[in-house]
Amino acid sequence: MIDTIGSGIRKMFTLQRKRFFPLPDFDLSDPQRVAVRITGKVLDENYTRMLMSKTDLDLQDVIALDKVQKRLRLSEVESVC
């Protein structure tokens, strides 16, 4: 289904955050399609505890924490925060 108003991606991120699960991963390597992976389990208990205790984190901070739990490289901007 095509998201015509552009709120679907943010909604997926918000729902996963509320469930304290890892954020969705998007694969944009094929210009003809987008692949999305949604994980329905805890990967790192520290990430989950952080989300549960710090409910006021903005989405960009949550995205950076999600990258840390997945052992992905942070951008320069993310690593400064």
Report the distance separating Cα 23 and Cα 16, nearest Å: 6
Q: What residues contact 50, with CB distance under 8 A and at least 6 apart?
A: 57, 65
**Whether the predicted model's global pTM rises above the 0.75 cut:** yes
- Full pLDDT tens readout for the chain, 81 residues: 455 566 788 888 999 999 999 999 989 899 998 888 999 999 999 999 999 999 999 999 999 999 999 999 998 888 776
